Structure 1
Amino acid sequence: MDALDRERKARRTVKGKVGGGLKTPPRHSPRGGQAGERSLSCAVPPWQMEYFGTIGIGTPPQQFTVIFDTGSSNLWVPSVYCKSPACTNHKRFNPQASSTYQATNNPVSIAYGTGSMTGILGYDTVQVGGVSDTNQIFGLSETEPGSFLYYAPFDGILGLAYPQISASGATPVFDNMWNEGLVSQDLFSVYLSGNDQSGSVVMFGGIDSSYYTGNLNWIPVSVEGYWQISVDSITMNGQSIACNGGCQAIVDTGTSLLTGPSNAIANIQSDIGASQNSYGQMGISCSAISNLPDIVFTINGNEYPLPPSAYILQSQQGCISGLQGMNLPTASGELWILGDVFIRQYFAVFDRANNQVGLAPVA
């Protein structure tokens, strides 16, 4: 498939199945899409905390497991130049084993909420969902300090936010796919499966209505960088619990939990009866879930209820709150992160052409 010769009219939807928790080989999914689509899937564990899929980099392709992260913009994977324990515990890209790799001397440094990396930038062909994204810039890590990435069930990160926040000005993968004519629409969509299901999907260039019910509600992006939107209010039992006068939120597939200002989250934890357990998590009695209220986000005039079955995470070991406190103030008010706890309830479309996010209840 030669992307340079592809006419825009020949663009298509690229569907990649996303799994989590188990590093199983990709397999063809029985759930198909439109004609010509290819799907990949990985097994999903009973208690989903992270979602990731497989991509290939180089010629021949070297396989990596990555998080598809709408909260960052860079693609990077560990490299053979990295000697950090986090790198040696994962797959590492070897530039000398790729006939299409192009080196640069440009450094890259990225910090996340729970980890960081430094390295160099290079160019190569990236395969996502069976489509070859040629001449894609990406990071090759040289250091990955700390323990978080050491234990991570993924090798690297594929960022899907705006290029404005890309470290070292690197062109994000989706931007490059669009520029090369590889996708039919300048948007992508995400379906994250529930705790006891499989088949999460990131679809580049298309929307599959079988994954949601009703109509998509469109929300303007308030700041182009993250997928940031304005929230009208946050309530429980009809009473305001945060976001008085409005606030901001980021729709972020790379954050597992629902994140908000520390004081607001502490009040909610108290209201739902969550208390810190011996592991430092906010535990709650599983029997209490049926009596807890929804957390209702009103966004662009529409209500998005988050039921207790969504914001309480259940496993055989017990139940914990899926909320976490973190103070991230902005010029437009307090900031919330609508992570996987939220996105599992709402099919999400990230529309770059119109700078908007579409949300609809999952099917």
Structure 2
Amino acid sequence: MKMHLLLLLVLLHLEQAQGSLHRVPLTRYPSLRKKLQEPDQLSEFCKSLDLEMTQQNNSCLMALAVKEPLTNYLDVEYFGNISIGSPPQNFTVCFDTGSPDFWVPSAFCKSRACKKHAKFCPSQSNTHTRLEGKTFSIQYGTGSCSGIIGVDRVSAFSCQVGGLTVPNQPFGEALKEPGKVFAHVQFDGIMGLSYPSLAEDGMTPVFDNMITQKLVDQPIFSIYMSSTNQKGGKGSELIFGGYDHSHFTGRLNWVPVSKQEYWQIKVDKIRVGRSVMLCSKGCQAIVDTGTSSITGPSDDIRQLQKAIRAVRRKNGDYTVRCNKLKVMPDVTIVIKGVSYTLKPTAYTLRHFRSQGKKFCRTGFEEFDISDDEPLWILGNVFIRQFYSVFDRGNNRVGLARAVH
């Protein structure tokens, strides 16, 4: 009898976690940084922004930060497909937990960046309306993205028939984009998934509307990023309405959101091997799908890079010899008493050759976001290893070892 009851409770828990899951496939593309580095154009690109990447400050990375200011679109790799309007107009977007804003290029945009991407034409949608008098302007390091605010039905392309459609969704129709960056990226626009407190006036985030309109069984979404060995990130997905147990092992460690702007949580400490300790008194971190690397305060990141014996190159990247990965230390991030350990193969990224030697770029970068409260960003290097669940109903983030 007890066994039957236990089994019933387990099945009930699984059903609650699953609910009706709306799966949006994510595709992994080479980041803008990688595209520019292949022919070694990154330094020239940064110079075109009137910036210098010095030994003291990775200023190119900082200049590309969004006002929020978490998203570094130089490194974004995972994108998904959506449609807007009736009949649908298709777009590739970055699903960004580090931003609340949602925008795509307008058919009336004349910026260089808009010319290279899909554009929304309001006259071709019979469900489109405009929020009269409402405009938006998002300040990026290289200029502003601005335009008008429209309202229409928005659908996420799903593995399931029919997908998920949000009626009456406000979104930005960009009339101007900063061309230096957005002209080169692989995505057309941004769909923000952070808290609404930072959203532009009149632009209620998409997930908030899903919750309000009861389009999801649970106020939860989750992100799974497949291993780097999977071509195009095959199997990666964003789930609205719950999470998938098959994507992780063990139990989710639920961590309270410490500040309801980003998906910000408290980190207990960060260890490098057995000797180097960072964030020893605790620190704040954001789980951010819009950043590829793990970033942190400059002094801490330099100490970490030194501990793993990484060398800084002229373009600002830290690299290690790929044949040394087996003897390099693990990096462990302790969150709510649970250790999240990254092996060297997990925290190093793509490799390249120089003078006959094979080098790997580390997945750690300097990024001084705030003088008041230094923040770490747990980007895709972390999320790829640890399945991430974002629970708006209880204002918490769930983390568990991802299955690859």
Q: TM-score normalized by structure 2?
A: 0.78
What one-letter code is carried by the residue in structure 2 that aligns with 1:181?
K
Structure 2, gaps ≥5 residues long = 1-18, 31-74, 354-358
- In structure 2, do the counterparts of structure 1 residues 115 and 71 end up closer, same or farther at CA, with 3 Å as the change threshold? farther
Distance 1:114 1:237, change over 3 A: farther
Q: How many residues align?
A: 328
Matched residue SS, 1:167: coil
Structure 1, 112-121 or 246-255: larger mean CA deviation: 112-121
Aligned-pair CA distance for 1:75: 1.0
State the 1:12 CA deviation. Answer: 2.9
Aligned to 1:41: none
Percent identity between matched residues is: 46
Aligned 1:1-363 pairs, distance under 5 A = 12-21=20-29, 50-104=77-131, 105-112=133-140, 116-128=144-156, 129=158, 130-197=163-230, 198-315=234-351, 317=353, 318-329=359-370, 333-363=373-403
Over 3 Å counting, the alpha-carbon distance change for 1:238 and 1:111 in structure 2 is farther
TM superposition shift of 1:172: 0.6
Contact 2:134 2:202 in 1 (8 A): no
2:142 touches 2:178 (CA, 8 Å); kept in 1? Answer: no
The structural deviation recorded for 1:311 is 1.2
Q: C-alpha displacement at 1:156, in angstroms?
A: 0.5
Offset of residue 239 of structure 1:
3.3
For 1:218-276, what per-residue CA distance to the aligned partner results, in whole angstroms no more than 9, with x for missing partners?
A: 00000001000011111112334321311000000011111000111112122222223
SS at match of 2:259: strand
**Alpha-carbon spacing, 1:240–1:315, altered in 2? closer, same or farther (3 Å):** closer
3-state SS of the aligned residue for 1:80? coil
The CA deviation at 1:113 is 6.2
Q: Residue 169 and residue 251 in structure 1: after superposition, are their counterparts in 2 closer, same or farther (change >3 A)?
A: farther
| SS state at 1:229 partner | strand
In the aligned structure 2, how far is the partner of 1:185 from the partner of 1:113?
A: 36
Which amino acid in the other structure matches residue 222 of structure 1? S
Q: Is the 8 A contact 1:230 1:247 kept in 2?
A: yes
Question: Structure 1 length normalisation: TM-score?
Answer: 0.86
Q: Give, in whole Å, the separation in 2 of the partners of 1:289 and 1:137.
A: 47
Letter matched to residue 81 of structure 2: T
Structure 2 counterpart of 1:111, one-letter code: Q
Per-residue deviation at 1:214? 0.6
CA distance in 2, matches of 1:237, 1:281: 22
Q: Over aligned residue pairs, what C-alpha RMSD do you find?
A: 1.9
Taking a change above 3 Å as real, the CA distance of residues 125 and 49 of structure 1, as seen in their structure-2 partners, is closer
2: distance between equivalents of 1:60 and 1:353? Answer: 33
Shift of 1:49: 5.2
- Contact 1:241–1:264 (Cα < 8 Å) also in 2: no
Q: For residues 316 and 237 of structure 1, do their structure 2 counterparts lie closer, same or farther at Cα, with a shift above 3 Å needed?
A: closer
**Preserved contact between residue 17 and residue 53 of structure 1 (Cα < 8 Å):** yes
CA distance in 2, matches of 1:361, 1:347: 6
Higher gyration radius (CA):
2
Asked if structure 2 preserves the Cα contact closer than 8 Å seen for 1:286 and 1:314, the reply is no
Distance 2:88 2:392 in 1: 28
Q: Give 1 or 2: higher helix fraction.
A: 2
| CA displacement, residues 62-119 of structure 1 (integer Å, 9 cap, x when unaligned) | 0000011100011110111211111111111111111111112311112356774111
Conserved? CA contact 2:93–2:188, under 8 Å: yes
The letter for the 2-side match of 1:155 is D
Structure 1, unaligned runs of 5 or more:
1-10, 23-47
